[in-house]
Amino acid sequence: MGVSENNAHYGHRLRVYRKIGDVIYDEVYYLTENGKPVTKKREREIRALAKARDKELLDYQAEHQQDIDEANPIKFHPDGRIIGLTRQQQQSNDRVVDIFKLRIRLPDGSISWGSISIDLHGFDNAFAQALERIAEVLDINKRTKIYRQMKNAKAAY
């Protein structure tokens, strides 16, 4: 959220708010002392402190998110589908082709594309091939918990 400014009946203040993981950082910097506004110089110092703290928390939040992304390269939609694996229908030579479309973000930031025909391989085999391709590209062991979760996502497609 960053730094917000509030002027309530109990004092003019700055609020620094960030949620990092399950921890909420909610810090208040008052711009009043004993019910009276601080001097302009002191106000600038307090604003600088609040912005510095927000920058520190923002960096920590980005580092935390990067650690999560490295630990778990696969993410899921709320309905259980794997992010980067979609089922689509394409028009080809006056007929509709059912495919799995792959869009895998690699750790270096580049993207690997691919598609597997459901009509050609059958749904179960095409889904298995898609999972194998994801595991191969992201170097995921087939005995890990994340691979089992990916296999369980089959019902969402």
Domain boundaries, the chain: 2-71, 85-156
Q: What pLDDT was estimated at residue 111?
A: 86
Q: What pLDDT was estimated at residue 71?
A: 65
Q: What pLDDT was estimated at residue 136?
A: 87
Residue 131's Cβ-count burial label (10 Å; 0-12, 13-18, 19+) is buried
Amino acid at site 34: N
Query: Per residue in 115-128, is it b (16+ CB within 10 Å) or e — as a string?
Result: bbebeebeeeebbe
Amino acid at site 80: G
User: To which residue do tokens 């969402």 refer?
Assistant: 156
Q: What pLDDT was estimated at residue 70?
A: 67
From first to last of its 157 residues, what are the pLDDT tens digits of the chain? 688 888 777 778 999 999 988 899 999 999 988 888 899 999 999 999 999 999 999 999 989 888 776 667 777 778 888 888 999 998 877 888 899 999 988 877 788 899 999 988 999 999 999 999 998 888 888 888 888 888 888 888 8
Cα distance between residue 46 and residue 56, in whole Å: 15
Contacts (Cβ under 8 Å, ≥6 apart) of 78: none
